[in-house]
Amino acid sequence: MKYKDEFRNKHEIRKYVDRIGEKAADRSISLMEVCGTHTMAISHYGIRNMMPEYLRLISGPGCPVCVTPNSYIDHAIALAKLDDVIITTFGDMMRVPGSTSSLEHVRSNGADIKIVYSAMNAVEIAEANPLKTVVFLGVGFETTAPTIAASIKVADECKIKNYYVLSAHKVMPPAMESLVLNKKIGIDGFICPGHVSTVIGSLPYSFLAEKYNKACVISGFEPVDICASILMLVEQVTDGNPRIEIQYKRAVKPEGNPAALKMMYDVFEPCDSEWRGIGLIKESGLKIKNEYKGFDAYDAIEVETEPLKELNGCICGDVLQGLKFPYECGLFKTVCTPENPVGACMVSSEGTCAAYYRYENNWT
């Protein structure tokens, strides 16, 4: 990547860390990141340990795979078991546990499940297999949803009638509001998600500053970006001037990407949505609009799902809300490992438990 050295320069990181340390906070400050790529970067570069004692960095529900509830996985598994159905999915969904099984498990028992890199590949599979029912598992935040919307539009224009999407898409700002309202977490500010914001821009977060006095900075993903964003957040908190600022200006405009937003809202509309560990959050999901109902796998394909069952002992729900750290889980690193994951946060490469397992070995 161009300019990589500038954004990873350890001297620059040190200067920011020193500046953050010099800020004399008269109380502790808690900042939450709500993007899995930030979670990984903070763990990978050891940023948490560089911070002064007054500053606590906590991870939120930033991994779309992790927040997808069991009921959705069960539905996808039930579809996969039907004759003449091909499930298409991003790779990280394969090992996520449902109530009693996973997509990987049912594939090993003969279900036709194909991993794709792009939803457009799923449309191509549908076109090449006109006698099959092809279902794409639409999982992801605002970064991903426009690309899935585009696949539905293309399938519509090309009159591909055997392509369906099972949408579990989610939008971030309502989830951030629900985290703010949970007083047990106690968030002072958010490291706002960089790539979600390339699409939605900065305006959808402004209520967090205006209504709830939360500091908000949209951050890039390189270590210098993240340290610069943390300094901006600490300054907002200590100056008593919470607002939404963009540090990741090279990729995020206040208005976002209007073409991507239009694509997303041409095809999807807001709906209430369930988040693993958090529960139902109003208007936090995206469902397919009536105009494109023919592509909605929920409507078009009837299926019976198994009774819902939650995992014993797994605290993914608390981890996703920043209420507990992974090392507070009895299963972490003993029963639950990346090779044999129990909970979603260990399965996904961007899950909080996976990040701690891989990079942060200093828990006590």
183 Cβ partners below 8 Å, 6+ apart? none
Within 10 angstroms of residue 136's Cβ, the number of other Cβ atoms is: 30
Q: Which is nearer to other proteins, 74 or 225 (CB)?
A: 225
Please count the residues of this chain forming the interface with other proteins, following the rule CB under 8 A. 56
Closest distance of CB 210 from other proteins, Å: 25
Our finding on whether 350 is near other proteins (CB under 8 A) is yes
DSSP 361: -
Q: Give the side-chain half-sphere CA count within 13 A for 52.
A: 19
Task: State the minimum distance, in angstroms, from the CB of residue 120 to other proteins.
Answer: 6
CB of 219: closest distance to other proteins in angstroms?
11
Q: What angle do CA 40, 261, 65 make, to 5 degrees?
A: 35
Q: Minimum distance from CB of 184 to other proteins (Å)?
A: 26
Q: Looking at beta carbons only, is 14 or 309 nearer to other proteins?
A: 14
End-to-end CA separation in angstroms for the chain: 37
**140 counts as binding other proteins under rule CB under 8 A:** yes
For the segment 244-263, give every residue that binds other proteins (CB under 8 A).
247, 249-252, 257-260, 263
Minimum distance of other proteins from residue 9's CB (angstroms): 7
* Closest distance to other proteins from the beta carbon of 363 (Å): 25
CB of 338 to other proteins, least distance (A): 16
d(CA 94, CA 108): 11
Please identify, among the stretches 102-110, 134-142, 203-211, 317-325, the one whose residues bind other proteins according to the rule CB under 8 A: 134-142
Task: Say if residues 75 and 93 touch (Cβ distance below 8 Å).
Answer: no
Residue 171 to residue 183: CA distance in whole angstroms:
22
Residues 82-121 that bind other proteins (CB under 8 A): 90, 92, 117-121
Phi, psi of 58 (to 5 degrees): -120, 150
Q: Per CB under 8 A, which of residues 32..71 are in contact with other proteins?
A: 35-37, 62-65
Q: With contact defined as beta carbons under 8 Å apart, do 192 and 204 qualify?
A: no
Q: How far apart are CA 133 and CA 122, in angstroms?
A: 11
For residue 146, give the nearest of 165, 159, 162, 132 by alpha carbon.
165
Is residue 296 near other proteins by the rule CB under 8 A?
A: no
* CB of residue 252 to other proteins, shortest distance in Å: 8
Contact call for residues 217 and 252 (beta carbons, < 8 A): no
Residue carrying the six token digits 């449309």? 123
Q: Give the span between the Cα atoms of 331 and 22, in whole angstroms.
A: 38
Identify the residue among 18, 291, 299, 328 touching other proteins (CB under 8 A). 18
| Closest to other proteins by CB, 65 or 331 | 65
Task: For residue 150, state whether it binds other proteins (rule: CB under 8 A).
Answer: yes
The answer to the question of residue 143 lying near other proteins (CB under 8 A) is: yes
Q: Is residue 146 at the binding interface for other proteins, with CB under 8 A as the rule?
A: yes
| 3-class SS of residue 224 | helix
Q: CB 350 → other proteins: shortest distance, Å?
A: 6
In the block, tokens 């948490």 appear at: 48
Residues of this chain that bind other proteins (CB under 8 A): 1-3, 6-7, 9, 11-12, 15-16, 18-19, 35-37, 62-65, 90, 92, 117-121, 139-141, 143-144, 146-147, 150, 193-196, 198-199, 220, 224-225, 228, 247, 249-252, 257-260, 263, 348, 350
